[in-house]
Structure 1
Amino acid sequence: MTYDEQLAARVRELMAEHGPAEEKAMFGGLAFLLEGHMAVCVSHDGGLLVRTDGSESEELLSQKHVGPMVMGSQSSRTWLRIDAAALGTDVELAAWLARGVTTARAQPPKPGVRSGRARSSRAPRPR
């Protein structure tokens, strides 16, 4: 199953409010990165994966349509799976995006990443 293109378009539009985001195909879905850090990912299983700092995980997991992200047999403490049913309005989606954006921006800078765009890995051309 491929990711939901309509949800990706909504995420793209709402993420623009937070500055330039890099889009990258990851885990069969479409991830949105800010300065090299993943904030959210439109999942190939439907819905959205949202990065959190883990401090509110228990409270958030008690909400309807929210579960842990599971890869293989491991569940994440900092990534949540939000079912499409909880993303019906732009207000609902924007709230989840804001959580992922806040968490991504709180991460330390990644080497080689500046202003939302990765630097080229190629050596400069001699003059």
Structure 2
Amino acid sequence: MTAQKDLVERVREALSDRDPREVPMFGGVSFMVEGRMVVAARRDGELLLRIDPTAAKDLLARPGCHPALMGTDRPMGDGWVSVEQAALQGAGLDAWLEPALSFHEAQDAK
């Protein structure tokens, strides 16, 4: 199984209680919850997260996290980060899904 397919399966399982819709975009499979993208499993096996821009600095300090790029060199902005495969192993995936889901829920509260 490829790294992306494995990640898609793991994200699908982790979000199953939220009835996500899967959409091909951002160079992979994006998971939409209530019509908004939360995360994407990219072709290279990295996880793209939509986050609260005010949390970017703290999240980027975690091992395996870096600013998200569109293509090879265009930054996506403070509301997006990418997480390397190694940081997603074991319970790592749940730890990284949490800030994306928290941001999603905060948007619902507005």
Same fold, TM-score > 0.5, yes or no: yes
Alignment of 1:45 onto 2:44: yes
Alignment of 1:104 onto 2:101: no
Bigger Rg, structure 1 or 2: 1
When you count helix as a share of all residues, which structure comes out higher? 2
Q: Within 2, Cα distance between the matches of 1:7 and 1:73?
A: 24
Runs of 4+ in structure 1 displaced over 3 angstroms? none
**Normalised by the size of structure 2, how large is the TM-score?**
0.85
**Normalised by the size of structure 1, how large is the TM-score?**
0.75
Q: Give the % identical residues.
A: 34
Q: Give the CA RMSD over aligned residues.
A: 1.9
Structure 2: 5+ residue stretches without partners: none
Structure 1: 5+ residue stretches without partners: 110-127
How many residues align structurally? 106
1:42 aligned partner, one-letter code = A
Change (3 A) 1:41 1:65: same
Q: Within 2, Cα distance between the matches of 1:88 and 1:73?
A: 27
Pairing of 1:19-98 with structure 2 (within 5 A): 19-71=18-70, 72-89=73-90, 91-98=91-98
